[in-house]
Structure 1
Amino acid sequence: MHGHDAEGRTMTAVTQKQTGPAQRPGPAEQAPAPPPKLRRRPWVAAAAVIALFVGAVGGLMTWLALSPSQEVVIAARDLDKYHVLDDGDLRTVSVALDPAVAAIPGRDAASLIGRRLTDGVSAGSVLAPAGVSDSGFPAPGLSVVRVTLTSQLAQGLTLAPGDQVRVVVSPPSVSADEEATFTPGEISAVHEGDAGAVVEVLVAHDQAVALSDAVVGGRASIVQDLAPSTGEDE
């Protein structure tokens, strides 16, 4: 009996295994779907640009708000080198300046009257302490020679303070063994009028007397040479 039961259970298990549900083949592998196409949205890019602009403006306004403003002296108009300052040349404005920028406080504007510029200044520029001199003029070792130009010679005059020139002196008489000489100088002022112009030239002190004598005798003229090339355009 025991052997029969064991055999019966074995056959039953085999029968159930054979009559179990058959394995069905899985579905065929599908090809990967193409990536979705991105739709361009111009308004998104425009919004980003606007956000950057607003951020930059906000940063600038914040910097200006946090930077302490101060009253400084500026040029009311274009001023030449060696110009002597007067009331109409100066203005005071309240601005926020970088600490590295040297400026003259507005409270000191009155003390600048009668002082001389050491270089040309354009209208609206901040005056720097180094740009104004209270030293004597001309500087030691230099003299001012005034050369008078007739209206014909002054026509189309382009000389300006700071220009480098040569004062050419013709010989007192026409002679084979005499040649014209010249002295280098710098224009310090130009005074134009209906009859011509008077040009003030800074020259070496030891040349001033001879040049003045030549000017009186009508033998002096001014030559402006082409500025030397710096090589930047080559």
Structure 2
Amino acid sequence: MTTSTPKQALPGRRPVSAGQPPAPPPRLRRRPWVVGAGLAAVGLGAAAGLVTGVALSDSREVLVAAGDLDKYHVIAAEDLRSVSVSLDSSVASIPSTDVASLIGKRLADGVPEGSLLSSADIADDAYPPEGTSVVRVTLTAQQAQGLTLEPGDLVRVVVSAPSTATESEPTFTPGEVAAVHAGDTGAVVDVLVARGEAVALSDAVMGGRASIVQDFDLPTADDADDSTADDGDGE
């Protein structure tokens, strides 16, 4: 006769009787806030991918200034560079494919380095502008000292009286600086003046009687006419 020794149940466990099915595993409880956070993360990732895709698809090659460009500057190939940017449709720009059409044209205003170029920056009018002429005023090193002229600055071209004249005051003509050619011995300044004043000013420049005055309280054309009239009365 054989006897069987009953098995000892392990601590913490109930003995399972023969033929009884095992108990199902415990069911995990999902926390609602964890599920919500996961769904939000998925949504944010999808939105970020969509925004990135749209931005990349909207990027385009446009032209910017490769350096500081002055007003009336004649555009050369090295003055421009192409950049890829994402722009709103309301922002004016020039596609990089139009670079060839800009070479040789003048700027209507100054453009800082890195700034976008637009059609408004390109001068459509003939140069010099209608009704004006360019007079080149040569300045000695002493005359150019202290002057900080840039294209677009408003100045006065002052003409001293000829040495043969007696009791005659200098006259002046308002003008706008178009270009400055500086050198070691002085400077040559291209000044836009009224066409009717160009011949007399050129004669004064050739005779060494012309200089440039730069100030903040600039006279009007009427003031210049009055000054010329007064000089005529004094002769």
- Provide TM-score, normalisation by structure 2: 0.68
Is 2:163 the counterpart of 1:175? no
List runs of 5+ in structure 2 lacking aligned partners: 1-43, 219-235
In structure 2, what is the Cα distance between the partners aligned to 1:64 and 1:214? 64
Give me the whole-angstrom Cα distance separating, in 2, the residues matched to 1:227 and 1:128.
32
Cα distance change of structure 1 residues 209 and 64 upon mapping to structure 2, 3 Å threshold: farther
> Equivalences for 1:205-216 in 2 at 5 Å?
205-216=195-206
| 1:18-167 map, 5 Å | 65-67=53-55, 68-167=58-157
Summarize deviations over 1:28-79 as a string: whole Å, max 9, x none.
Answer: xxxxxxxxxxxxxxxxxxxxxxxxxxx9xxx999756524111111000001
Please give the alpha-carbon distance, in whole angstroms, between the structure 2 residues aligned to 1:83 and 1:191.
Answer: 12
Report deviation, 1:157.
3.0
- Structure 1 residues 214 and 69, CA, compared in 2 at 3 Å: closer, same or farther? same
Cα deviation, residue 132, structure 1: 0.9
Residue 155 of structure 1, CA deviation: 2.6
Deviation at residue 125 of structure 1 after TM alignment: 0.3
Q: Could you tell me how far apart the structure 2 residues matched to 1:203 and 1:60 are?
A: 58
Residue 177 of structure 2 is matched in structure 1 by 187
Distance 2:150 2:90 in 1: 31
Identity value in percent: 62
Pair 73,170 (structure 1): closer, same or farther in 2 beyond 3 Å? same
Please list every run of at least 4 consecutive aligned residues from structure 1 whose deviation after the TM superposition is greater than 6 angstroms. Answer: 59-62
Larger radius of gyration: 1
Asked if residue 222 in structure 1 is aligned to residue 208 in structure 2, the reply is: no
Aligned-partner Cα distance in 1 for 2:114–2:207: 44
Structure 2 distance, partners of 1:137, 1:193, is 25
Q: Per the alignment, do residues 98 and 222 of structure 1 end up closer, same or farther by CA in structure 2, a change over 3 Å counting?
A: same
Number of matched residues?
171
**TM-score, normalising length: structure 1:** 0.68
